[in-house]
Amino acid sequence: MKLIKSGKDCEVYDNGNTIIKKYKFIRHSILDPSWLLYYDDFNSKYNILPEIYEMNIKDGIHTCVMEKIEGSLLQELVLQAMSKQNQEYSEVMHYIKKCHDLIGNFLEYNIELSKQGKIMFHEDLNLTNIIVTESGDFKAIDIDSVRLNPIRKFSSISLYGTLITQFHNHCIHLE
């Protein structure tokens, strides 16, 4: 088992076919059994998140075992495209469009979910939390950032703006 990231909140391990995330603090949201039910329901429709194989708490440490998504981080792909001599604008446009599609899946799901007074969203969609697979599919990782909240007026939708801002920042930075 290889440690790939150690942050203040969690450690992430690569275990071959699976990714294991160990939380230093208990994440109440993902411990809620209804969170997992909605997560699985959402993913069975859209297949844009890692499958969750196991959630447990051992010795006070909360562990999640999930599908390992093979591919490249979107950040690497965007930086590569933007640093080519004739900047690959169409490639970047394609990435932006695919990100909108990814976000669109949450928005579409929420049309029905909001009738139950709930909303599901990924609160940390950014270029380092999206993996592009070999076949070009976009998958969101960092599963504990998937929130299931009671809906409030204007809640969460504005969070998706940050992803678009990142594209903008990369473009400016590399010009």
Ligand X SMILES: Nc1ncnc2c1ncn2[C@@H]1O[C@H](COP(=O)(O)OP(=O)(O)O)[C@@H](O)[C@H]1O
Beta carbon nearer to Mg ion, 113 or 129: 129
Closest CA relative to residue 53, chosen from 63, 64, 42, 45: 64
Among 62, 142, 146, 148, binds Mg ion (CB under 5 A): 142
One character per residue 2-21, x = contact with ligand X (rule: CB under 6 A): --xx-x--x-x------x-x
95 binds ligand X (CB under 6 A): no
CB atoms within 10 A of CB 108: 12
Closest CA relative to residue 38, chosen from 69, 30, 151: 30
- Give 112: exposed, middle or buried? Use CB within 10 Å, 0-12, 13-18, 19+: exposed
Beta carbon nearer to ligand X, 2 or 152: 2
Q: Which tokens hold the place of 1? A: 């088992």
Give the three-class secondary structure for 30: helix
Q: Considering the complex, what minimum distance in angstroms separates the CB of residue 112 from ligand X?
A: 26
Q: Considering the complex, what minimum distance in angstroms separates the CB of residue 5 from Mg ion?
A: 8
| Binding site residues, ligand X, CB under 6 A | 4-5, 7, 10, 12, 19, 21, 50, 66-69, 128-129, 131, 141-142
